[in-house]
Every structure is written in structure tokens, then in C-alpha cells.
Amino acid sequence: NLNKNLKYLNLSGNKRLQIYRVEKRQTYYGHTPAKHPNAPSSNMSSFAELTQLRVLGLMDVTLPTVRGTADTPEENEDRRVRTSASTIMKMSYGIADALGKNDTLNLLDLVQEIRPASYQNNGALFAMFGRSAPHRGAGANRLAKYLRDRFVGNFVSELDTMEKHADDVSDALR
């Protein structure tokens, strides 16, 4: 976390990578030197201080936990944080989140294992949401995040009602 202006960091796919909590050592006989505004924090393994970060990919990476949670920034409309495994139902996948011209997220992906009540087997759902040219500013991708966060529940309920009406999958997608 030496570069506070970092916007895209992808360490995904490094299954052997383990990030440990490392405290910066004190110097000068037990005293810390005067802190420069751009100096790193005392916790060199923290991603939470990278406030300009838009995409953080940590799939398959072993992270330290602080009070039971990983020390990563919160995900929101303008920031995507991936800490999941890179396989679903024995299929490998990668990050498809992308930054646009204005350093804003313009594409969010969705990978989810689903099991509709009316089906005996699980399925995998892969989807992408975004705009070709999101406007600059906070909340530029609010609609894409809203759709991504709510799509799975709505799609599974449509698949469940589909069986009752003898429709096919294309009807559930409508």
C-alpha cells in the first residue's frame, strides 16, 4: 500500500500468495520518525487505506483477518472488491470488472451458484452488468450494482415459477 493513488490492483489467481499482517518497525531507539502525509501506515498489509482503488482482485489469496474480517475496503457503487475463490462448480473464472475512460467502473460481473427449488441439480449463473460510458462522479454505476445485487434472487424465483407454468428458460429471463 505504498501507492495511495492506485486505482486497479489484481492479485487474483495466486493460490500460494499469503498476505500477512506486518507492522512497520519503530526506529530511532524506539521512537517513530515524523510521519510524512504520503508515508505508509503502520499496517503494511492493509488495503483499507487505498481510497482511490476502484477494483481490488484478491481471488484465491489468503488474507489476514482483523476482528474476524479481512482488512479490505468496503465495496460500493464505485469500488469492486473480489475475495472469493476462482472456481465455481469445478469451473474456473476470472475477474471481468473493468474501468472506463473516466476511471469509473463500467462493467460488473456476477458469478453465483444457484439451486432453484424445482430443480434437482445446482447451476452456475454468469452475468455482466454495466454501461458503455458511465458518467463521472460518485454513484456512476449505481444502476449496474443494483441489478447485480438483486438479479440472482429474482432470477431464481422466476425459474421456480417457470416450472409451474410449463415455460422455458427464455421466459424466465424476460
Q: How far is CA 131 from CA 56, 98, 140, 149, 169, in A?
A: 20, 11, 9, 16, 25
pLDDT, tens digit, 9 for 90 and up, residues 60-76: 888 766 555 567 888 88
At residue 44, the pLDDT reads 63
What pLDDT does 34 receive? Answer: 55
HSE-CB for 120 with a 13 A CA cutoff: 0
For 98, which DSSP code? Answer: E
CA neighbor of 128 nearest in space, from 143, 103, 148: 148
Query: Can you point out the beta strands (E) in the chain?
Result: 8-10, 55-57, 65-66, 69-70, 80-82, 87-88, 91-92, 98-99, 105-114, 123-130
In this predicted structure, which of 27-36, 72-81, 104-113, 128-137 has the lowest mean pLDDT? 27-36
Q: What is the pLDDT of residue 75?
A: 84
More confident residue, 59 or 164: 59
Helices (H), the chain: 142-165, 169-173
Cα 54 from Cα 134, distance rounded (Å): 14
**Given this model, what pLDDT does residue 148 score?**
87
pLDDT in tens, 137-153: 666 678 888 888 899 99
Looking at the predicted structure, is the pLDDT value of residue 127 above 60? yes
For residues 17 and 30, give the distance between their C-alpha atoms in angstroms, rounded to a whole number.
31
Is 135 a residue whose pLDDT tops 60? yes
pLDDT at 105: 79
